[in-house]
Amino acid sequence: MVLGVSGGIAAYKACELLRLFTESGHDVTVVPTEATLHFVGSATWSALSGKPVHTDVWSDVHEVPHVRIGQQADLVVVAPATADLLAKAAHGEADDLLTSTLLTARCPVVFAPAMHTEMWEHAATRANVATLRERGCLVVEPAEGRLTGADSGKGRLPEPEELYEVCLDVLARGVAPADLAGRHVVVSAGGTREYLDPVRFLGNRSSGRQGYALARAAVARGAEVTLVAANTALPDPAGVKVVRVETTAEMHHEVTAAAAASADAVVMAAAPADFRSAEVSEAKIKKSDDGSAPTLALVQNVDILRELSTHRPRPGAVIVGFAAETGDSSGSVLELAREKLARKGCDLLVVNDVSGGAVFGSPDNEAVILGADGAAVDVPRGSKTALAHVIWDQVSARLRA
């Protein structure tokens, strides 16, 4: 792997990214720009990578590093990628070792931009990003938050752990086409809460892990991703716009709003509560002295999946639902799921057998993906990231059709 580091204050975060790569067994060559060394010195990069570090093409000339490094790489990731570096890469400049390496690399290339909001939003930067994406590079959307000094906004380098996950995903898929490039997808994750009083709520066991895996996988495939997350404790995935909600009503509003912004696909991986209390007490409900319990009157929440399927954000949009089933006297897991698929009207339904609490909070998953066209894809037990890619494979095929 090649870790390119351009000259921005976020260069210090790249040290942690480098550590994650090396500790997981990857052979990493660090190629900083000259400006980078004003922020983090060459001794640090050499110590963490175990290799000498150079910025120019004149060191070890007999090994032709400006050609060899790119030719031998399985992945090139530039983090942070400044506005200057993006401009040089987009226009094919090669005035140092990093930009020369980018011209010779034939492997996947990931850019993680970091800069002030005004620079990220400038028309020149947006044009350079568009050019790089058209050439097949993955340009990860920067995060929103605290920037240099007191400034806040979009332009923050995503956290190293999340960039690491994106890079591993890209590395595993190799030069697979970015089939979701130019697409906007909306993913929901987590379990909603319906309050009974200021303290108590009705909820469920969804951790949000599958939804987050879907968001990360979509980023790795080039999509613009909006993640509507309910009550999760997971870090924001790199390159994803995260909208946090608590209740089903809030999720309904945010998913609908995000989908209305020309979403090509909506994947409802969240577990919205089916019911809510008819009345929410303004004060904590107290125990009674006689040991009796209060009676709760419940009303149904809006069916977000069915509404999305009925009122598509745009013609041709693909709608995906999830079904956590256990089976009962009325039918098996798949029989109940097929009934749900027909009732909801979505294009795909990902069916999980959750008997005994399986799937919840686990890093692994297995499922059957049912299609409204009669298709059925069995996905054996594996990582939730692996399942996410199978789901996106099915979505991508339907978008192309």
Positions marked catalytic = 204
Closest residue by Cα to residue 131 from 115, 156, 109, 114: 109
Question: Kindly report the CA angle at 85 between 84 and 89, in degrees rounded to 5?
Answer: 120
Residue 97 to residue 176: CA distance in whole angstroms? 27
Question: Kindly report the CA angle at 156 between 6 and 233, in degrees rounded to 5?
Answer: 130
Question: Kindly report the CA angle at 275 between 272 and 277, in degrees rounded to 5?
Answer: 125
Query: With the C-alpha atoms ordered 72, 76, 82, 85, is the resulting torsion angle positive or negative?
Result: positive
* Type and span of the H or E element at 4: strand 2-5
Which structure tokens are listed for 200?
């108590």
CB atoms within 10 A of CB 199: 10
**Cis ω before 65 (30° cut-off from 0):** no
The two counts, helices (H) then strands (E), for the chain are 13, 19
DSSP 232-260: --PPPPTTEEEEEE-SHHHHHHHHHHHHH
Residue 268 to residue 319: CA distance in whole angstroms? 8
Which structure tokens are listed for 184?
């906007």
> Quick one: DSSP state of residue 94?
-
Residue 369 to residue 355: CA distance in whole angstroms? 18
Contact 3, 17 (CB under 8 A): yes
Amino acid at 270: A
Residue 147 to residue 149: CA distance in whole angstroms? 6
Residue 198 to residue 190: CA distance in whole angstroms? 21
Closest residue by Cα to residue 350 from 188, 126, 167, 125: 188
Residue 218 to residue 225: CA distance in whole angstroms? 7
